[in-house]
Amino acid sequence: MDIILSIIGYTLFSAVGFFFFEKSEFTKNFFGNKQNSIYLSIAFIIFGIYLAKADLITPNITEQIVFSLANYLVCFIGAILATFIGMKGTFTFNNNKKFLHSLNSGIILGFLLLFIAFL
């Protein structure tokens, strides 16, 4: 049940980027860049490992990495779903800036959510 709620949450976070990141020229160019998406993804995974390490429930490094990668996977699935729904069922990964907008929005809002949750 928690996984389904997480996917729904990240889909909503990603939908924000899908619909609003094209309004501004800065966000359209910055968040539509693959290189910036890679940097944000790596930072999100490292941040997840750090948060899992700060939590006393996951003392093992393997569990921390799995927590972080699973959180990123849920964010990625949410971005795919938001883009698929926003494009009305037509979706490809080939040069799809709307997917990058969705993914980056999910990552940024996921950063905030995880930061607030683990504070």
Residue 102 has pLDDT above 70, yes or no: yes
Residue 21 has pLDDT above 90, yes or no: no
Dihedral in degrees, nearest 10, Cα atoms 47, 112, 25, 96 = 60
Lowest mean pLDDT among 22-36, 41-55, 63-77, 97-111: 22-36
Q: What is the pLDDT, as a whole number, of residue 56?
A: 66
pLDDT per position as a tens digit, 57-96: 667 888 889 989 999 999 999 999 998 888 887 777 776 8
Tell me how far apart the alpha carbons of residues 112 and 91 are, in angstroms, rounded to a whole number.
27
- What is this structure's pTM? 0.86
Tell me how far apart the alpha carbons of residues 5 and 20 are, in angstroms, rounded to a whole number.
23
